[in-house]
Amino acid sequence: MIELTAAQLAALTHGHLTLTAEPGLVVGLGSIITDSRDAFPGCVYVAKPGESADGHDFISDAVAAGAILVLAEREVSDPMGRAYPAVVVADAVLALGAVAAEAVKMIRAAGELTVIGITGSAGKTTTKDLLANILSRLGPTVAPQGSYNGEVGVPLTVFGADISTRYLIIEMGATGIGHIEYLASLVKPDIGVVLGVGTAHVGGFGSIENTAQAKGELVEALSAGGTAVLNADDARVRAMASRTAARIVYFGTGDRPPGQNQGLVRGVDVTTNNEGQPEFTLQFPAEFSRTVETKANAVDADGTSWPITSGLLGLHHVSNLLAAAAAARAAGAPPAVIAQSLRGQKALSRWRMERTVRRDGVTIINDAYNANPDSMRAALRTLAELGRGSDGTEHRTWAVLGPMLELGPDSIHEHDAIGRVAVRLNISRLVVVGQQARAMHVAAVMEGSWGDESVFVADADAAYDLLCAELRPGDVVLVKSSNGAGLRFLGDRIALPTDGTDEGRTQIQ
């Protein structure tokens, strides 16, 4: 764990110490927390204003639980009128970023560090998990917990590293122009991975063109000695090649982009098996292999092919698998290590195509951590495939869908389109949850659904009651919505047996 004194923290953040703070107090960056409920003896609590609560109101709780220092935007006094020991700064979030930037500098100065940034409209967390599993076989690797990908999450990820860290993986999310540029300025990535440009958060960006502009800020931040890993199957991502001085490596399932001499990490013969898991042949270009070296070991040219059967669920994960493979190769991982790691690896973060089989034979696919039109379509295609059993039997398929948030003025149109897709894929039952998603139900009815094939319910409790009453053995249920809609918790509820116990519940991934 990297350590700094209270005085050093104040200097880095252009803040000042309260009279009760000891300048020589040594704190570990790994002990920094932003939620008072997570406080423990020896921690540093960051009090930041939020949308629904002000962290300053919980300083007393954090100190009572053992916090020895506070990073705050104003002095707060205890019941006796004494200020709590604190570094007082103008902006707590920007202060976190300044400390994170210094931590990265310290790690680089102490040893060999490779920083990999990952962005895209979908798939960031899965790709991050896949890449971390590969690189951890080569050296100490730090990656975000869950989906730490913003102006608070990125510093917290950095604080988990120390001078022995060899690989630091940073997930970068954004809801506006300039966000990724700021995050990249903190960690100075050596490798930048752009997965795709979709309609996620388009309401915040204003247009898909602005989304592409924002995602491309990652490759603009790379130096000439860095590597940009770009999705060759996404035209907007391919176009980012002109925005970087770094070396380009592509990944995809098609041919190398016309006129480009850069390598393509390619997936061929792509399909899914009877369990809905992707299968393909992973190919590394020989010219890419010859250029990748690390201080630990030189990598020989290796243009051979590697058969991959993934433990993930859904054909759409092929792109994430290829992205992880390309990024790992750029970081110096040998092809054999990459292939061995990808084979059979399941989802590590919760609520991403998480499959659970109940003891009564009902299968629940909980993919409700997030949703946008592209990921909705991909999940529905996977559900349709799973409805066709490996033994030739047909299973009833249920799509339990909530709202896709942050779509701006296109929201009704995009929800309408998803309802029509569900009908065209012949999903057996569509359950639309919440007023914001109602357009899905209306569209399904207009597209040709009839009777009770499509049902609208007001909330998750109503959906739960409906499912408890009507699910039967062999059914396959997809639960999907944006994170803010909370349907992931509905997925957890229906994954339990009807008696509420965990007995007989088998989590596949």
Would you list which residues are annotated within the binding site for ATP? Answer: 120-126
Cβ atoms of residues 320 and 127 within 8 Å: yes
Q: Where are the beta strands (DSSP E) in 40-152?
A: 44-46, 69-72, 86-88, 114-119, 141-142
The three-point CA angle 428-434-439 to 5° equals 65
Phi-psi bin for 190: left (phi > 0), alpha (psi -120 to 50), beta? alpha
| Spatial distance between the Cα atoms of 414 and 404, rounded to a whole number of angstroms | 9
- Binding-site members are 120-126
Hey, what amino acid is at 387? Answer: G
Q: What single string gives the DSSP state of each residue in 28-49?
A: EGGGEES-GGG--TT-EEE--B
Give the tokens for residue 158: 């950095």
Sign of CA dihedral 499, 504, 508, 509: positive
Question: Beta strands of 175-242 (E only): which ranges?
Answer: 191-194, 227-231
3-state SS, residue 107: helix
Q: How far apart are CA 193 and CA 190, in angstroms?
A: 10
Residue of 123, 113, 341, 352 lying closest to 229 (CA atoms): 123
- What is the per-residue burial (b if ≥16 Cβ within 10 Å, else e) of 267-299? beebebeeebbbbbebbbbeebbeebebeeeeb
Q: Please, which residues have CB within 8 angstroms of residue 493's CB and are 6 or more apart in sequence?
A: 464
Inter-CA distances, 503 with 18, 351, 357, 496, 506, Å: 54, 20, 12, 8, 9
Expressed in angstroms, the distance from the first to the final Cα of the chain is 32
